[in-house]
Structure 1
């Protein structure tokens, strides 16, 4: 009898130890979970105070995880959840978790060697961006793509460069703005830092079918700027437009320095047109047609979005202006605007916007859009600009 009692005590003692161990594990897991939640909340509060969009960084983290990763996390807690039943193996493994953390911290994907090269070689990785104001025309993964073209795509025009009319000689060492001051004040100034960005449908006659080669000295984004100028002037808004072809005018042209070249253009424009209320740097995106086109009322439009350089210490002012213009587009033609994006860590990320709180970078369409689609979008943008300027204030002097 005595031996049986001793054996029974040992059994209950083992159960007690197991219970204590499980309790300890439960407390540790609960504590880690609570700590994670607190850190996420603090990160959200910090982002809200800094960027005015608390969820953008968290969305960026979530988008780097695969659906399978989330499914396997749920499966660990819900025994009867099979993660959709369509995958073999699991994503939530030490290797997968390590790869995710490495990519989150360094932007290098260990399963994609290109990401390692992209971190070191110019042009291999586009400038990453976060959404400041999302538009109804945006889709997941629609962040701006701005890739460095090859040397063969950008070269001085053979003999007849794109015209650059200038009313007076520009300051020594600066290229002309190509903006002729007409009667009345110029309230809008349009220019193109990447003035040769072009469109494949308009380059068929030249045999160009590769989007990486969609650059041209004559048929390019400058036509979009010209259309915008014409529509604004039709509305009685004085507009100046720079048609400077930097590859032809800058000796030893370097595409990576495009914004340094166009900075002189903006400075000259501010001096010539001190009452300008809006400065627009018009670009063409590099995404393909399905990501740059919206069908509204049965008609195709090239989509529009705005980019804010957060290396500019006063970027919040530029951002608010872009949001106002985006809101007008969203009201007039829902789906046309993809929203406002901010760039802060890669590439230029300043875009001459420190020169004026009313300087915006605007992306219209991509290499697969036609001029008709671009012009429809440009006409809508002109109407939005006219509505915006009804309550705008002068751009003022360059900021320090």
Structure 2
């Protein structure tokens, strides 16, 4: 009888202490834990410092990126790179931005390739003048288009304007503004223009004010085509200007990739 009483007493004592013990055990929910993952694991940020897991690339959505003016650079980035303020640089240039855009497009489910050609280096080596840049890059773009049917082809540039005209502050964050350039001297330019206008609408839905008015170029003194005659899905984007920094360009890259994904998904539907 005494042994039975001791057992019951011990059980009652344990049940009394159990809630107190539970309170001492640390508990964390998924929402309470902030996990920061290095960029080299290809987990990407959308305009913040919170990283999200990379989704699977969706079948049938493919993009090609290239830079006709491959050495175009941003002054804050070149200064950070080697202490020199420059608008053209053989290493810290627009081609690095293409790598960021590629990562963001893939984060949004679009298989993306970068055209592996440094146009400016080729021109410097052969003594080709700057105004022939679109002619130099053209055969490389043409070859890629013959091999793969891309959903979108983007030629990335930066504007020569200063930061006060190419920067937007929205909800406390700064973004590099985007402008689309359309060459009007070919028969199908309206198709390129239509795609640029659809992207503009999506970009404005995500971050109002992030785009500048579309630039239409034709006539004496301009290229007039910008290789857009090669494909109705080829667009030329000027992202920011010489004074935009890496953080601003990264935020805009994320917004651009999201807008591209939305447009392409609507095309599939």
Q: Over aligned residue pairs, what C-alpha RMSD do you find?
A: 1.9
Q: Name stretches of at least 5 consecutive residues in structure 2 with no aligned partner.
A: 1-56
Separation of aligned partners in 2, 1:252 and 1:183: 42
Alpha-carbon shift at residue 239 of structure 1 (Å): 0.7
Write the mapping of 1:250-261 to structure 2, written as runs, cut at 5 A: 250=123, 251-261=126-136
Separation of aligned partners in 1, 2:120 and 2:104: 28
Q: Does structure 2 conserve the Cα–Cα contact (< 8 Å) formed by 1:293 and 1:365?
A: yes
- Which structure would you say has the larger RCO, counting Cα contacts within 8 Å and 6 or more residues apart? 2
Q: Does structure 2 conserve the Cα–Cα contact (< 8 Å) formed by 1:246 and 1:253?
A: no
The residue number in structure 1 matching 2:89 is: 216
Separation of aligned partners in 1, 2:92 and 2:188: 35
Instruction: Write 1 or 2 for the structure with the bigger share of strand.
Output: 2
Q: Which of the two has higher C-alpha Rg?
A: 1
Alpha-carbon shift at residue 278 of structure 1 (Å): 0.5
String of CA shifts for 1:326-363, please: whole Å, max 9, x gaps: 00001111011113221112311210001111110000
The residue number in structure 1 matching 2:54 is: none
1:241 aligned residue (111, 114, 125): 114
Instruction: Say whether 1:229 aligns with 2:99.
Output: no
Instruction: Say whether 1:331 aligns with 2:205.
Output: yes
2:222 aligned residue (330, 339, 347): 347
Using the size of structure 2 for normalisation, the TM-score is 0.73
The residue number in structure 2 matching 1:263 is: 138
String of CA shifts for 1:144-182, please: whole Å, max 9, x gaps: xxxxxxxxxxxxxxxxxxxxxxxxxxxxxxxxxxxxxx9
Instruction: Say whether 1:187 aligns with 2:30.
Output: no
- Shift in alpha-carbon separation, 1:183–1:379, aligned structure 2, 3 A: closer
Q: Does structure 1 conserve the Cα–Cα contact (< 8 Å) formed by 2:163 and 2:242?
A: yes
Q: Does structure 1 conserve the Cα–Cα contact (< 8 Å) formed by 2:176 and 2:239?
A: yes
* Helix, strand or coil at the partner of 2:232: coil
1:386 aligned residue (249, 261, 266): 261
Write the mapping of 1:82-121 to structure 2, written as runs, cut at 5 A: none
2:190 aligned residue (292, 297, 316): 316
Q: Does structure 2 conserve the Cα–Cα contact (< 8 Å) formed by 1:286 and 1:366?
A: yes
